[in-house]
Amino acid sequence: MDLATHFRNARNAVSVSAGRLIFRSGDPGSVMYVLLEGSAAVLVGDEVVELAGPGAILGEMALLDEGKRSASVLARRDCRLVPVPREQFDLLIAETPAFARHVMRTMGERLRRMNERRVPALA
């Protein structure tokens, strides 16, 4: 599912300047973001674990488990994002199976990458 195309005409898009935090680890999370333009770094502690570009989803885990943010996200370039609050997220999950699969696929890919990073450290 091409989320940048799906959300491109959203009226609630927000801009975040390069070098500014989109959200911080430990913050409560009641919204996820779809990155429409720009690039962002996902940080766990001081380590960049992912570089996100247009179409990426950010902050979805906090909506799924209702926990605090597990990572910080920093705008590397000026970003245009669409905030998706919990109520809209739930509606998209219920009404759009392709969106639900996209979220699960994204989380699965991220988990695999994190596992691959940890395996050498455990050996």
Token pair for residue 81? 């994002």
Residue 106's domain spans which residues? 3-122
**C-beta of residue 57 within 8 angstroms of C-beta of residue 34:** yes
DSSP type of residue 19: T
Given this model, what pLDDT does residue 11 score? 92
CA 1 to chain centroid, in Å, comes to 15
- Predicted confidence (pLDDT) per residue in 51-92, tens digit: 999 999 999 998 888 889 999 999 999 999 999 999 999 999
The CA distance from 73 to 56, in Å, is: 12
The CA distance from 61 to 63, in Å, is: 5
Kindly give, in sequence order, each residue whose CB lies less than 8 Å from that of residue 73, ignoring residues fewer than 6 positions away: 21, 22, 23, 33, 40, 41, 42, 43, 52, 58, 59
The CA distance from 48 to 36, in Å, is: 20
Residue 119 has pLDDT above 70, yes or no: no
pTM of the model: 0.88
Stated length of the chain: 123
Residue 123 has pLDDT above 60, yes or no: no
At residue 7, what is the residue type? F
- Predicted confidence (pLDDT) per residue in 21-32, tens digit: 999 999 999 999
Residue 14 has pLDDT above 80, yes or no: yes
Identify the CATH number of the domain in which residue 14 sits.
2.60.120.10
Domain count for the chain, please give it. Answer: 1
